[in-house]
Amino acid sequence: MSAATPPAAQSVTLIIVNYNSGARLGRCLDCLSRQTVSCFDIIIVDNASSDDSLAQADLAARDVQLIEAGRNAGFAAANNMAAKAAKGEWLALLNPDAYPEPGWLEALLRAAAHHPETDAFGSRQLDAGDPARLDGEGDVCTIFGVAYRGGFGHAAAPCGADGECFSPCAAAALLRRSVFLDLGGFDERFFCYGEDVDFGFRLRNAGGRAIQVNGAVVLHEGSGVSGRHSAFTLYHGHRNRIWMFYKNMPAALYWASAPLRLIADTALFVKAAAAGEAGAYLKAMRDGYGGLGALREDRRKIAALRRKSGAAIAAALCWSPVKFLRREADLRPLDGADPSAASEQQSS
What's residue 106's pLDDT? 96
* pLDDT the model gives residue 157: 87
Q: What is the structure's pLDDT at 337?
A: 45
The pLDDT, as a whole number, for residue 16 is 98
* pLDDT at residue 56 in the model: 95
Q: Between β-strands 120-127 and 210-220, what pairing exists: parallel, antiparallel or unpaired? A: parallel
3-class DSSP state of 126: strand
Give the pLDDT score at 128: 96
What are the residue ranges in the chain where pLDDT is below 50? 1-8, 224, 226, 336-348
Instruction: Considering the chain, tell me which residue range(s) the CATH 3.90.550.60 domain(s) occupy.
Output: 12-220
The pLDDT of residue 117 is 96
DSSP H/E element including 149? strand 147-149
Secondary structure (DSSP) of 30-85: HHHTT-S---EEEEEEE----SSHHHHHTGGGS--EEEE-SS--HHHHHHHHHHHH
- Tell me which DSSP letter residue 332 carries: B
State whether residue 142 is helix, strand or coil.
strand
Contacts within 8 Å (CB) and 24+ apart, 288-297 = 288/238, 288/239, 288/240, 288/241, 288/242, 288/243, 289/242, 291/239, 291/242, 291/243, 292/242, 292/243, 292/246, 295/243, 295/246, 295/247
Task: Just give the CATH number of 12-220.
Answer: 3.90.550.60
Radius of gyration of the chain (CA): 19
Kind plus residue range of the DSSP H or E element containing 154: none
